[in-house]
Amino acid sequence: MSVRAPLKASAFEASETFELGRFKRARRAYGFDEVALVPGRVTINPEEVDSSVELGSLRLAVPILAAAMDGVVDVRFAVEMGRLGGMAVLNLDGLQTRYADPTSVLQEIAEAPREHINALLQKLYQAPVREQLIGERIMAVKRARVPVGVSTVPAHASRRAGLVAEAGADCLVVQGTVLTARHISRSYEQLSFEKLCTGLSIPVVAGNCVDYETALELMQTGIAGILVGVGPGAACTTRGVLGVGVPQVTATSDVAAARETCLRETGRRVQVITDGGMRVAGDIAKAFAAGADAVMVGSIFAGTTDAAGGGYHWGMATPDPNLPRGTRIKVGRRGTLREVLLGPARVDDGTQNLVGALRSAMGVCGAATLRDFQQTELVIAPAIQNEGKLFQQAQQVGMGT
């Protein structure tokens, strides 16, 4: 069975459902391990494909964003990411804006025993965010003349918007576990994305989202990009704690269908950014084929020698004082950021030279641009991870690791 990606709205509405019980029906959803790309009838030299992406007036040669996680992005990492052609997103609610010198704090997190880590994170994140540090961190990256994005929770987005734009940020990401255009609360005022986008000269990205209708409503507010993914991150436990989430291939395809609807109705294209769940380069290629315009990566980058966490990684909701939805994981330090992004790869498992692998996949599938790549045929392939891989699995090498 095969499908074309991204799904159009009509296909979304006509999706087959299955009976869970007399009261409830459900659609089948797919993750990266369950699908594969079909090679094209024409192949292209990978060196001649265009894998760049535009976000508002910002153009990135590398269509990969570094996730706004404290185990990944600090000023030094953001500068290197920008120099290599991508963009890092700095967490404005994280350690970099709570501590003037977070080095010792990061070391304490790395050295903490497993049984104490959640309590320690909750304690360390009680320190208040210092507005002065927000501007200082952004300007420190901009002095290197590279792009930088910043991430904030919705509650502080309006208040921080002017500050981050004045400091020189190139993109404002408004990020929550699940974000909608219509939020109901009696205790605080809802963020208006229309006002936020109108009042800013830099692109606004909103997230996270996993379904067509919600994505379409968010897109119609004027945002430039939308993050796709609830709970797929390597350090995230949202799916276990809350039971919510949609596997990333289906989520990306549904949100991409909303992008096409928005484009037809408004003439404006909102960039779809798959956020999380990608462990190797093949997953990234599948995200683009499912409809993504860019991807956001966390744990792969946390395992670089340039990352802030010293070989450890934890989710943005891990330090929540009331309901943690993440954990600290050890990812090690397997290579430099340059090796991971641009190669040359020293390993055979798809965790290095992500851009080279993406461009090769585009070439094999006959896609000259990322928009062409979104039309690549996908097949539902439950055997894709283990077919013919007995020796790799037995020896725990290659695809068996």
The neighbour count for residue 135, using CB atoms within 10 Å, is 17
- CA-to-CA distance for 338 and 113, rounded, in angstroms? 31
- CA-to-CA distance for 200 and 389, rounded, in angstroms? 51
- CA-to-CA distance for 79 and 316, rounded, in angstroms? 21
Of 143, 211, 142, 147, whose CA–CA distance to 180 is shortest? Answer: 211
- CA-to-CA distance for 232 and 237, rounded, in angstroms? 8
Answer for the pair 241, 215: CB distance below 8 angstroms, yes or no: no
**Residue by residue, what is the 3-state secondary structure of 297-334?**
ECHHHHCECCCCCCCEEECCCCCCCCCCCECEEECCCC
The H or E element spanning position 2 is strand 2-4
Structure tokens at 314: 């934890």
Active site residues: 236
**3-class DSSP state of 352:** coil
The H or E element spanning position 54 is strand 53-55
Structure tokens at 390: 């007995």
Answer for the pair 364, 45: CB distance below 8 angstroms, yes or no: no
